[in-house]
Amino acid sequence: MIFKLEEDLLLFPSPELAEEDGLLAVGGDLSIRRLMLAYSHGIFPWYSEETPILWYSPHQRFVIFPEKVKISKSMRKVLISGQYRVTENQSFAEVIKSCAAIERKDQDGTWIISEMQEAYIGLHKQGFAHSIEIWDDNELVGGLYGVQTGNIFCGESMFSKAANASKVALIWLCQNKNYTLIDCQFHTEHLKSMGAEFISRDAYMNLLSASSVNP
């Protein structure tokens, strides 16, 4: 059953009631309070310009446990080489706009529409959303952004304009922050190759609950 949300009522149905594809609710808004309420309950928005706001909570979550991130021999050479410079929260707006603009295989357009960009830039200004930037000299060539809830990082998107740049960002995130979990939300072969795995919603919610108690 898909629930209709009202803009003046800050409330979500139980994530357990989501459809088979994870769709839980439609409507509402992208206010900071609603977004943080959603993430604290394992829910996130994902939609396009042709649809109203859609809220998802997958029955299985695709995640990376930071200590289990896979680093290939070729990636170890890239990391050791110092080819790229890594920064954090230095160019959030540029990262999210680059994620929206990058062309992706088998994807027509982007779900990171201007409304979403504005909402997450607002989250960033309040300290809830973060970015990792990858630089080649002074050029931004890769990065990622996401939302922090407790000590779980809910990854939203990444981009790469140079070889391995997004991988460097993800590995840096796993190795240099004290997150217990990187939530990738949905399956991709790229993330699977780096150690992402499925866990059940119950397992995810237990980790989320523990994270909010011990941020």
What tokens does 119 get?
Answer: 């909402």
Count Cβ atoms within 10 A of the Cβ of residue 6 and give its class: 0-12 exposed, 13-18 middle, 19 or more buried.
Answer: exposed
Rounded Cα distance between 72 and 80, Å, is 12
- Given a contact cutoff of 8 angstroms between Cβ atoms, the answer to whether 88 and 131 are in contact is yes
pLDDT value, residue 108: 47
Sheet with strand 139-149: strands edge to edge: 85-88, 129-136, 139-149, 152-160, 181-185, 60-64, 197-200
pLDDT digits (tens, 9 = 90+) for 102-139: 876 554 446 899 999 999 999 999 999 999 999 999 99
pLDDT digits (tens, 9 = 90+) for 157-192: 999 999 999 999 999 999 999 999 999 988 999 999
Over range 140-150, report the average pLDDT: 97
Per the confidence metrics, is the pTM higher than 0.75?
yes
pLDDT digits (tens, 9 = 90+) for 57-72: 999 999 999 999 999 9
pLDDT reading at 100 higher than 60: yes
Residue linked to tokens 């922050």: 177
Q: Which domains does the chain have, with CATH numbers?
A: 3-59 (3.30.70.3550), 62-213 (3.40.630.70)
73-81 vs 165-176: helix crossing angle, rounded to 10: 80
